[in-house]
Amino acid sequence: MTAVVELTGVVKEYPGGVRALDGVDLTIGEGELLGIVGPSGSGKSTLLHVVGTLDRPTGGSVRIAGHDVAALTDRRLSALRARHIGFVFQAFHLVPGVAAVDNVAEGLLYSGLPRARRRGMAADALARVGLADRLRHRPHELSGGQRQRVAIARAVVGEPALLLADEPTGALDSASGEAVMDLLHTLNAEGATIAVITHDTEIAGRLPRQVRIRDGRVVADTARGKVAA
């Protein structure tokens, strides 16, 4: 199994002394779909940011798609995000007043691909998330679930090695949330490596692997549990 993510002894201490991550070891293999669960304030988002290279750890080592993050400059780190990592946020973060297809194409803006190709790929990505008939709709003309699917299309349009989602269903009703989770399952079945933060135990229960976090430590990992058992 090729590792997309390899964390060893990762520590993240915020100024002021809060240890949000306290020695995390985590390996995510290619094609995995895992849930990160844990109480509020346990360090889930911090972990996702460190994995997504949006934040640097204060200790330990982070390797993403084979690159040692600590050794990379801002430019190279940005290139790593542009090429290998897709993010989905609880609050969608779509650009208001801009058509869905253009919002998705924004996901390729920093990839170096030519403009026309970016739009073509964006339309394809929207079709993949079931919004082929909503290309020209602007965010305020879409439901919450549809908006989150646009955001997912933006995250996967560049075929990243790793898709990270921080409570993607947190702002949705249960039916829309279910549709979004189904979509993530489908994308995983098509080969995407996905890590989802959720506090919904029912949703987490349906994921192939669960990593439980408390006080910045991994307290349970079904993958490791299986190995240990």
Partner 1 sequence: MSRTPVLRAARLGPRDVLHVGSAGLRSRPVRVVLSALGIAIGIATMIAVVGISASSQAQLLRQLDALGTNMLVAKAGEGMFSGQEVKLPKDAVGMVGRIDGVEEAAGTGDLDRTVRRSEKIPEGETGGIAVKAATERLLDVLRGRPAAGTWLNAANGRYPAVVLGHVAAERLGIDRPGRQVWIDDRYFTVVGILDPLPLAPEIERSALVGWDAAQRLLGFDGHPTAVYERSTDATVRQVQNLLAPTIDPRNPQNVAVGDPSSALKAKAATEGAFSTLLLGLGGIALLVGGVGVANTMIISVLERRHEIGLRRSLGATRGQIRIQFVTESLMLSGLGGLAGVALGSAAVAAYAATGGLPWVVPPWSAAGGFAATLAIGTVAGLYPAVRASRLSPTLALAAG
State which residue, 50 or 157, has the beta carbon closest to ligand ADP. 50
Distance CA(93)–CA(88), nearest Å, equals 9
Distance in Å, CB of 1 to ligand ADP, minimum: 27
Strand order through the sheet with 19-29: 19-29, 3-13, 59-64, 67-68
Query: Which one, of 191, 228, 226, lies nearest residue 210 by Cα?
Result: 226
State which residue, 44 or 137, has the beta carbon closest to Mg ion. 44
Query: Which one, of 1, 27, 24, 29, lies nearest residue 13 by Cα?
Result: 24
Per-residue buried b or exposed e for 157-179, using 16+ beta carbons within 10 Å of the residue's own CB: bbebbbbbbbbbbbbbeeebbbb
Residue 112 interacting with partner 1 (CB under 8 A): yes
Residue 65 interacting with partner 1 (CB under 8 A): yes
Total residues at interface with partner 1 (CB under 8 A) = 35
Looking at 9, 18, 39, 54, which residue binds partner 1 (CB under 8 A)? 54
Q: Among the candidate windows 22-30, 74-82, 171-179, 185-193, which touches partner 1 by CB under 8 A?
A: 74-82
Q: Any idea what DSSP says for residue 200?
A: -
State which residue, 45 or 169, has the beta carbon closest to Mg ion. 45
Please count the CA atoms within 13 angstroms of the CA of 223 that sit on its side-chain side: 16
Contacting partner 1 within 118-177 (CB under 8 A)? 154
Distance in Å, CB of 172 to partner 1, minimum: 18
Residue 211 pairs with which residues in a beta bridge? Answer: 36, 221
Query: For binding to ligand ADP (CB under 6 A), which residues are involved?
Result: 14, 16, 18, 20, 38, 40-46
Query: For binding to partner 1 (CB under 8 A), which residues are involved?
Result: 45, 49, 52, 54-55, 65-67, 72, 74-83, 85, 87, 89, 91, 93, 95-97, 106-107, 109-112, 115, 154
